[in-house]
Amino acid sequence: MWYREAGQFVTNYYQDRRIFPLRFDRWFVAIGLILLVALPTLYGSEYWLSAHMIPLCAVGLATLGLNLLTGYTGQLSLGTAGFMCIGAFGTFNLILRLPDWLINWPTAMLISGIFAGLVGIVFGLPAIRIRGFYLLVSTLCAQYFVWWFFNQYKYFLDYTPSGVVALPEKYYDYFGLSELMGWDMQSYNNRWFIAILFVIGLTYFAKNLIRSSTGRNFMAVRDMDIAASTIGISVPKTKLLAFFVSCYYCGIAGALYSFAYIGNVDLMIYEVDRSFTIMFMMIIGGLGSITGSFLGAIFVYEFPIAFTVLGDYVFAGAGGHAGGGFDSAAVENVSNMAYGIFIIALLIREPGGFGALWGNYKQKLRTWPFPH
């Protein structure tokens, strides 16, 4: 009976509009966020940061971006990786070409998001006429076009012969802290710090965006755009705004992916597969759910890893994975089969994905110990 609104009163509108009405939630989230930012930055192990936590920030943010467009505004998009690519390349080029006193890594990311957003608007223009599955054409076109563009015009990769740019430490520096404090700015701890701050900030912004009239416009357009236009919502403007915001998020996510996670700027990581993966994450996490975006990202990202680890563990006696009891191709195939089955089973059980499961769980918690 502890998770209840009873006994918690508000005395002004500001309190009334809080994101977390329950005191328990507020404390939980506040403490959680502080720990989330501080602990890994100070004590995080390299393995966990580099292989799990940082990539999850990047793909989680991309999923959130896609969810804003598809889950909240109903515009299908398979061009996510293309927009991520613009963000990454934009950040790289800004740091490369602008003087150090003017630009640093976080600022560059914020600005390159705008580039991605603008390109998003261009490829979002057809959405004014085209609806439903047919809209995939536009974003797929964006995906392939962006890829071809950066492949064709090597200027953006600084003419690196290998096609891959390994980012040196000075790119990660901001406020001259590298010299001032002697910190290793390229370390995963620093990268995590920036990544998690961006994620928290952007998620907070997204949450408030959804609760605002803009967010309601998005949802109105998703649910019934003809009716929305009759009550005065400008449907084209709303759609284009959704594209801009979503691609902004995807751009920053792409920059985080390249800079914070991989450490290279490489065109190959932004292919169509990536777009599909992000879309999987969004659907498994739940359309129209912010928490779901991150839950879905975590699941999709960790599943193959977890499966392989499990497989190794189960077959450890038969020689482990170097010996040959369980060859890696077989593992991958079985992993694919299990993954496919799991997606289908989850969709059957709860079409709203993990986000809806989470919502149901909280709802049950509110009425616990009663069933409903």
76 vs 196, beta carbon nearer other proteins: 76
Give the x/- contact pattern for other proteins in 320-359, rule: CB under 8 A.
Answer: ---------xx-xxxxxxxxxxxxx--xx--x--------
Binding mask 98-127 for other proteins (x = CB under 8 A): ----------------------------x-
Which among 109, 102, 87 is positioned nearest to 156, based on CA atoms? 87
| Binder of other proteins out of 75, 80, 138, 190 (CB under 8 A) | 138
**Backbone CA torsion sign across 277, 278, 283, 286:** positive
Closest distance to other proteins from the beta carbon of 345 (Å): 9
Exposure class string for 177-216: b at 16+ Cβ within 10 A, else e: ebeeeeeebbbbbbbbbbbbebbeebbeebeebbeeeebe
Instruction: Determine which residue in the list 28, 48, 134, 175 makes contact with other proteins, applying CB under 8 A.
Output: 134
Burial class (CB in 10 A: 0-12, 13-18, 19+), 59: buried
Least CB distance to other proteins at residue 365 (A): 12
Q: Which residue, 91, 69, 56, is CA-closest to 249? A: 69
Q: What is the nearest approach in angstroms of other proteins to the Cβ of residue 133?
A: 5
Binds other proteins by CB under 8 A, chosen from 130, 164, 197, 200 = 130
Rule CB under 8 A: is residue 219 a binding residue for other proteins?
no
- CA–CA dist 144, 8 (Å, integer): 53
Q: Going along the chain, which residue ranges are E strands?
A: 164-166, 264-266
Query: What three-state secondary structure class fits 100?
Result: coil
Q: Mark the segment that binds other proteins (CB under 8 A) among 19-27, 86-94, 129-137, 313-321.
A: 129-137
Cβ-count burial 230-254 (b if 16+ within 10 Å, e if not): eeebebeebbbbbbbbbbbbbbbbb
Q: Could you tell me if 87 and 260 are in contact, meaning their C-beta atoms sit under 8 angstroms apart? A: no
Scan residues 263-302 and list those touching other proteins (CB under 8 A): 272, 276, 279-280, 283-284, 287
Q: 93: closest CA among 161, 170, 158, 172? A: 158
Nearer to other proteins, 49 or 331 (CB): 331
Q: Which of 4, 131, 170, 211 binds other proteins (CB under 8 A)?
A: 131
Q: Least distance (Å) from other proteins to the CB of residue 124?
A: 12
Residue 109 amino acid letter: M
Residue found by looking up tokens 């998005």 in the block: 218
Residue from 41, 50, 63, 70 binding other proteins (CB under 8 A):
70
Q: Give the interface size with other proteins as a residue count (CB under 8 A).
A: 52
Binding footprint of other proteins on the chain (CB under 8 A): 70, 76, 126, 129-134, 136-138, 140-141, 144-145, 148, 151-152, 224, 226-227, 230, 272, 276, 279-280, 283-284, 287, 329-330, 332-344, 347-348, 351, 360, 363-364, 372
